[in-house]
Structures are given as C-alpha cells and as structure tokens.
C-alpha cells in the first residue's frame, strides 16, 4: 500500500510537465511561476504562519541560505521549466527532468565528498548519450551544426538548479521542520519572482489558466512533496528515489492522451538509454579507485 505514495507523487509531477506545456500557449512563463508559489503560500499560510512568526528570530542566521534555496528551487528551476515549455515537448520535459537524481549524485561528489562509483561513471555516460540522441531526434551528428535547442538547455539548467537545491538541503541540514523550511523558502520565492511577474505581458487568470495555476500550486507544490516525504518515511529514501524513473513513462502516457503528442523512435531509444543510465547510477554502488590490498609476501628464509 505504501508503494502508492511515490507512484502518486510521480504521477502528479508527470501531470505538472503537461501543465508546463499547456501553459506555454495560455500564460506568460513568468506569470505562472509567480502564481504557482503564491497559491502554494496561501494554502500553507493557515497551517504555518503562526509557527513561522513565533520562530522568526531563529531564522535570522539562516536567511541567506533560505534565499539561496528559494532562488534555486522556486525561482530558477520553475521559471526555466515554464520557459522551456514554449519549445520543448512534454515527453522531452519528462525525460530530461528524470536526470535530476543523477545530477544530484554528481553534485554530491563535489559538495558532500561522496565517493564516485562505477554506476555513476557508466550511468553518466549513458544518460548523456541518451539525452543527445533525444534532443537531436535521433541524428546526433546534427548537433555539430545546430547545437542543442534553447528550450532543452533551459530545462537542463533548471534541472541542475533543482539537483543543487537538493544537495544543499542535505549539506546545510537547517534546524527546522520540513514544512517550516519550505514555507519560508516559498515566501522568499514569491518576492524573487515578483519583478519578473510585473514585467509579464500576458498574465490572465481565466477559465483557461486557472486550472493550470491551481494544479501547479496545490498538487504539484504542496500535495506531491507531502506524499514524497511520507514515502521516504515508510519506504526509505533509496526505495523512494527509484520511483523517479517512472516520470518519463507517466509523462509520455499523459502527453499522448491529452496533448496528442506522438511517440517517436527517438523518444523510446533516447528515453531508455537515459533511464538505464539513471538506474545504473542508483544500483551499481561499488566505489571506483578502491585498491585491493595486495597479498602479503612472506619471507621464505
């Protein structure tokens, strides 16, 4: 029964990839990025405002860290994702976003001093090849002339920002409950996103955009993190993380049914190669460079 928790979480995130794509033609990316966290903040305010206010003095030494986390997780990651939706298909969004666990592992090597493993090295090379095959629509040689599209680059940058966000959370270990930390970050995020929102030229709230805003603000920003945390609690972090590999699968299924996107051969090949790379990075945990002790040579004299 507990396995439904991460499955439902990933399903919600897959739906959010669809929202990214649908929002591209309905509302300015800067506007939905702002509305998303404004809605999430309003939903959490009745539950968190008093607690955060009582503890406001204890947050002061950590304000810079809260600001950095909000910049990475709420501002950069989400905004770049919405801008990427202007040109990137929902299927590609799902596949590229699935690289976040691998990026997290790679960043952890440098910031947390974690030991590189054979899975990380092989998985990184495989995933890189898979992504190149995907974004080139099966013609990697074309990248030498055309390069990677701007949308894909934005999405990769946003995914990297979120991976860095996760590593910094682990590195800093802020002495507050998860929801207190998230709520304070959301407040920072709203402030950071406000200038870009005010410059947006297409920021309507109507029958077309309201469902997108509400989905991004409540299921994707509040419900999914809660379910994910519950999954980590009952199943453990390692088992829970594996379910992220379902993200491109769920995204493709929803994109085909709701957006009419076609599953091309490069989605299948590139997606499978990328997925294999991510799985290898999670399962092959033997450290590289570990020397076996040489057998002791006994003196025969």
In 3-21, which positions are buried (b, 16+ CB within 10 angstroms) versus exposed (e)? eebbebbbbbbbbbbbbbb
pLDDT at 276: 87
Round to whole Å and give the CA distance between 82 and 94.
13
Long-range contacts of 192-196, Cβ-Cβ distance < 8 Å, separation of 24 or more: 192/67, 192/70, 192/71, 192/74, 192/75, 193/30, 193/33, 193/34, 193/37, 193/74, 193/75, 193/79, 194/34, 196/30, 196/33, 196/34, 196/79
Round to whole Å and give the CA distance between 200 and 153.
22
pLDDT at 106: 87
Ranges of each domain in the chain: 4-283
- Whole-model pTM: value is 0.86
pLDDT at 219: 96
pLDDT at 218: 97
pLDDT at 111: 92
**Which residue reads 């379902």 in tokens?**
246
In DSSP terms, which residues pair with 287 in a beta bridge?
117
Digit-coded pLDDT (tens) for 184-224: 999 999 999 999 999 999 999 999 999 999 999 999 999 99
pLDDT at 298: 45
What is the residue-averaged pLDDT of the chain?
87
Round to whole Å and give the CA distance between 141 and 81.
26
pLDDT at 43: 97
Residues in the chain with pLDDT values less than 50: 291-294, 296-301
pLDDT at 234: 86
């Amino acid at each position: 029964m507990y396995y439904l928790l991460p499955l439902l979480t990933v399903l919600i995130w897959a739906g959010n990839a669809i929202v990214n794509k649908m929002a591209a033609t309905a509302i300015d990316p800067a506007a939905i990025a702002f509305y998303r966290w404004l809605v999430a903040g309003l939903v959490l305010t009745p539950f968190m405002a008093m607690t955060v206010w009582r503890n406001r003095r204890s947050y002061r030494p950590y304000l810079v860290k809260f600001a950095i986390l909000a910049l990475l997780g709420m501002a950069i990651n989400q905004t770049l994702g919405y801008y990427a939706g202007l040109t990137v298909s929902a299927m590609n969004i799902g596949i590229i976003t699935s690289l976040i666990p691998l990026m997290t592992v790679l960043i952890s090597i440098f910031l947390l001093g974690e030991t590189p493993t054979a899975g990380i090295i092989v998985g990184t090379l495989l995933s890189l090849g898979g992504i190149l095959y995907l974004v080139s629509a099966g013609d990697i040689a074309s990248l030498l002339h055309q390069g990677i599209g701007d949308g894909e680059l934005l999405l990769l940058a946003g995914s990297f920002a979120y991976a860095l966000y996760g590593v910094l959370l682990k590195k800093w270990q802020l002495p507050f409950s998860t929801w207190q930390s998230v709520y304070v970050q959301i407040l920072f995020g709203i402030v950071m996103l406000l200038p870009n929102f005010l410059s947006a030229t297409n920021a309507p709230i109507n029958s077309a955009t309201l469902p997108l805003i509400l989905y991004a603000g409540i299921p994707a920003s509040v419900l999914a993190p809660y379910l994910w945390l519950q999954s980590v609690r009952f199943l453990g972090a390692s088992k829970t993380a594996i379910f992220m590999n379902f993200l491109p699968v769920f995204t493709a299924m929803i994109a085909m049914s709701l957006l009419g996107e076609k599953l091309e051969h490069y989605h299948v090949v590139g997606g499978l190669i990328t997925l294999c790379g991510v799985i290898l990075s999670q399962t092959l945990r033997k450290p590289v460079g570990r020397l076996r002790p040489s057998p002791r040579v006994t003196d025969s004299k």
